[in-house]
Amino acid sequence: MIEVKDLHKAFGEVKAVDGVSFTAHDGEITGLLGPNGAGKTTTLRMLYTLMAPDSGQVLVDGIDAAVDPVAVRRVLGVLPDARGLYKRLTARENIEYFAQLHGVETTLMHQRREKLADALEMRDILDRRTEGFSQGQRVKTAIARALVHDPKNVILDEPTNGLDVMSTRSMRAFLKSMKTEGRCVLFSSHIMQEVAALCDRIVVIAHGRVVADEAPEALRAQTGETNLEDAFVKLIGSAEGLAA
Amino acid sequence: MKSSLVVFLKEVRENLRDRRTVINTFVTGPLIAPLIFVLAFQFGINSMLEKAEKPLPVSVIGAANAPDLIASLRQLGMDVKPAIANPEAAVRAQDVNVVMRVPADYGKAWKTGEPAQVELIYDASQRDSDQAADRLRDMLKTVSGRTASLRLLARGLSPALIQPIAVADRDQSTPQSRAGIMFSMLPYFFIIGIFIGGMALAIDTTAGERERQSLEPLFANPVPRWQILLGKLGATSVFAMATVLLSIIAFSIAGHFLPNDKLGMKLDIGVRFTILTMVVMLPLGVLLACLQTLVAAFAKSYREAQTYLSLLMFVPAIPTFVLAFLPYKAQAWMYAVPVMGQQTAILRLLRGDPVSAANILLCVGCTTLGALIVWAVTERIYRSERLAISA
């Protein structure tokens, strides 16, 4: 479970995150929806302790990120906005590097890697060096290395960004399977249909603030719009930076 | 600590797969300096030695005025060339190195016992001309001295009368110490080795990793950043020291290709030299690896980092040039200054001079302290939020 309480973060004059609070529960998919530049990535970066908030609190499984950031990272699986791989290492070596950094013991690491390779349908690319990988192959490898320590909580920053239709479909299926495994899945997106189709709970962010935090149906009811797209536009104030 | 080892092994493996890094660390870095050295020495010294042994060609004007003198000079190694029309212009144009002119009244002065004049026409600003004139002057002094002795003997006097002071040279240099002067640049090449060997990794582990966008996912692992940094610096230092070691080996081999017998000096790079050099260089390797990583951390891209680090390479050259051109006596405080300490210790080892254990300890200790300070600064930078964020 990830609890976010009144996060603030400013870069100079710019208030990137200006009071964000929400809770992502286990066994649910929580979507962080907002236009480009709304503060989604900055919020997520504070969750996985890459940045420290100016004020506010992050709790992951009850652990305070400000008090013990290493313990927080131990229970998190993260697919950041930056998903660079080591191009002179194979996909397998990339995954094993992160497993070792998590202290996963060798036999368990092999089991998990095989399971992930099947789930992500990447068995054919495991022993290739990642230089020259397609966007889809890169994302698969990055997700596998983020989940190889079997984290209870999973944070993904725009996981379908740059993927083709087929890869996007299998990504969505993968997110759902993580939910049925009882994990807490939190992902950000600026694509409304994706969020609507997947999420149990939608947190809408605009200008660094949460403007709505509801189940999809409730969101429709709250805004009085039957169409989700119209509901989002009404919440955010403009259609700028959103994609259907 | 286990995480640092994981990072270290991954960096070593990844960089061993990069052909450019491998060539720089294990081939170009260690080899370029000894190659330049051997070539420079072969050409420089051989031409110097050849000149000393070859007959000296001299154009003589008025040779007929002093047949005896010319005969004596020929015995001493002068190669008499025919007279030329405009000697001053020919010397200035570097057509000939030196011209000797014997005036018409030479014979008359010689017979009456007056100083008989000969003129040397040369250009002191031209090295070749100046050296030729020096050699000819020496020959003339020899003939002059011989004649003076004969004249005194003919009058029943001892030639010792005109030599009130006798100078005897007692040169205290040893073959090693003479080699030391020639090789005073050598420590700099070893220090450059650290730079070349560590550069690729220092950039790759900071600016490179950020440019490839892999730093952010790396920092999402439950490993404190200082442990990640420690592993990366370890890999950088190992590559740097590998270059230094190979460089020393390359120099010890290059030493065999120098004309030692002609020089009367030898380059003695043995096991003791290698071990002690590695000991004093090790903390410097760590210090420079930290410094390179620190500088690379400020760069926005791989290319920018390369530019900064290339400039950084000139910094250790400063004490080298100071020591090479101002022959200061080695003093204890010099061992305490990183780079200068290594420079002094290696130079003395190379010359076969004693370096006390206390001096080595001072050098290693102070450089280690410097490395710790630079490490502390680098670790601070590594903790900053901005470091991980690409673009």
pLDDT tens digits, residue range B150-166? Answer: 999 999 988 888 888 88
Ranges for all domains in chain A classified under CATH 3.40.50.300 = 1-75+152-244
Which of A79, A97, A186 to mutate: most B Cβ within 10 Å?
A: A97
Tokens at residue A37, please? 């530049």
Higher pLDDT, A244 or B271: B271
CATH architecture of A1-75+152-244: 3-Layer(aba) Sandwich (3.40)
The pLDDT score that the predictor gives to residue A119 is 87
**Residue A37 above 70 pLDDT?**
yes
Confidence of residue A244 (pLDDT cuts 50, 70, 90): very low
**Contact indicator for B58, B99 with CB cutoff of 8 Å:** yes
Over the Cα atoms of chain A, what is R_g?
A: 18
pLDDT tens digits, residue range B329-362? Answer: 667 888 888 888 888 888 888 777 788 899 999 9
ipTM of the complex: 0.91
Tokens at residue B382, please? 């590594």
DSSP A236: H
Tokens at residue A29, please? 């998919």
The pLDDT score that the predictor gives to residue A219 is 75
The percentage of residues in chain B with a pLDDT greater than 90, rounded to a whole number, is: 35
Cα(A29)–Cα(A132) distance, integer angstroms: 32
Residues of B in contact with A52 (CB under 8 A): 385
Mean pLDDT of chain B: 85
The pLDDT score that the predictor gives to residue B261 is 64
Residue type, A140: K
Helix (H, G, I), strand (E, B) or coil at A182: coil
Pairing mode, strands A184-189 and A28-33: parallel
The pLDDT score that the predictor gives to residue B30 is 86
Q: Per this entry, what is the length of chain A?
A: 244
CB contact under 8 A, A142 and B221: no
Tokens at residue B26, please? 């294990």
Cα(B231)–Cα(B107) distance, integer angstroms: 86
Cα(A223)–Cα(A199) distance, integer angstroms: 18
A167's enclosing H/E stretch is helix A165-180
The pLDDT score that the predictor gives to residue A157 is 92
Cα(A50)–Cα(A82) distance, integer angstroms: 12
The percentage of residues in chain A with a pLDDT greater than 70, rounded to a whole number, is: 95
Which residues, including other chains, have CB under 8 Å from residue A78's CB and lie 6 or more apart? A48, A146, A154, A155, A156, B217, B220
E strand spans, chain A:
2-11, 14-24, 28-33, 55-60, 63-64, 76-79, 153-157, 184-189, 201-206, 209-214
Which of B206, B212, B216, B229 to mutate: most A Cβ within 10 Å?
A: B216
A144's enclosing H/E stretch is helix A135-147
Q: Nearest residue of B to residue A53 by CA position? A: B385
The pLDDT score that the predictor gives to residue B242 is 93
Closest CA to B253 of B16, B25, B10, B30: B30
Confirm or reject CATH 3.20.20.70 for domain B55-144, answering yes or no.
no
CB contact under 8 A, A70 and B216: no
CB contact under 8 A, B222 and A71: yes
Cα(B349)–Cα(B29) distance, integer angstroms: 22
Higher pLDDT, B299 or A239: B299
Question: Looking at the complex, does the CB of residue A133 fall below 8 Å from at least one CB of chain B?
Answer: no
Tokens at residue A92, please? 């397998």
The pLDDT score that the predictor gives to residue B217 is 93
Tokens at residue B346, please? 């290696």
Q: Diameter of chain A by CA atoms?
A: 54
Q: In what order do the strands lie in the sheet containing A76-79? A: A76-79, A153-157, A184-189, A28-33, A201-206, A209-214
The full set of domain ranges for chain B reads 2-40+176-388, 55-144
Backbone CA torsion sign across A113, A118, A124, A125: negative
The size of the A-B interface in CB pairs under 8 A is 80
Tokens at residue A104, please? 């996963």
- What's the rounded mean pLDDT across residues A72-95? 93
Q: Diameter of chain B by CA atoms?
A: 103
Pairing mode, strands B99-101 and B78-81: unpaired
Question: For A6-20, A115-129, B93-107, B306-320, which range has the lowest pLDDT when averaged over its residues?
Answer: B306-320
Confidence of residue A148 (pLDDT cuts 50, 70, 90): very high
Q: Nearest residue of B to residue A82 by CA position? A: B213
Pairing mode, strands B78-81 and A184-189: unpaired
